[in-house]
Amino acid sequence: VQLQASGGGLVQAGDSLRLSCVVSGRTFTLYNMAWFRQAPGKGREFVAAINWTGGNTYYADAVKGRSTISRDNAKSTLYLQMNILQPEDTAVYYCAAREKRRGFSDADLGDTYNYWGQGTQVTVSS
């Protein structure tokens, strides 16, 4: 399974961005998906997760209310819409996949994901 993330960039505080992650190699609907991020000098942080149907989502408190995770199963693509971006959102954002048979509990645990994209840089200036 290959994951290709894109959509990052340099924006100003208050702006919006939409990240995308195209999945190839196996059927997209076999996987629950998530976004994580890693800021300079910090550990990996959970951002949001979505189950294979798109009907169940889960967000970190840091982004709840400002971000929306979604997926288009016909396009094998995962999205993260981020609004009202703040400098503290600056990080490399990674998409991740794990098999749906594992369920959706503990979706915020990065070690439970088997496949990772290469990351896309988001930089928010104040």
| Euclidean distance between CA atoms 43 and 81, whole angstroms | 22
What's the pLDDT at 110? Answer: 96
Q: What is the pLDDT of residues 4-44, one digit of tens each?
A: 999 999 999 999 999 999 999 999 999 999 999 999 999 99
| Euclidean distance between CA atoms 90 and 75, whole angstroms | 28
As a whole number, the mean pLDDT across the chain is: 97
What's the pLDDT at 61? Answer: 98
Q: State what percent of residues in the chain have pLDDT above 90.
A: 100
Q: What is the pLDDT of residues 79-100, one digit of tens each?
A: 999 999 999 999 999 999 999 9
Q: What is the pLDDT of residues 41-83, one digit of tens each?
A: 999 999 999 999 999 999 999 999 999 999 999 999 999 999 9
What's the pLDDT at 93? Answer: 98
Cβ-based neighbours of 9, under 8 Å, separated by 6 or more:
17, 121, 122, 123
What's the pLDDT at 108? Answer: 97
For the chain, list the strands marked E by DSSP. Answer: 2-6, 9-12, 17-24, 31-38, 44-50, 57-59, 67-72, 77-82, 91-99, 115-116, 120-125
Looking at 22-125, list the stretches that DSSP marks H as alpha helix, in order from N- to C-terminal side: none
Cβ-based neighbours of 14, under 8 Å, separated by 6 or more:
84, 85
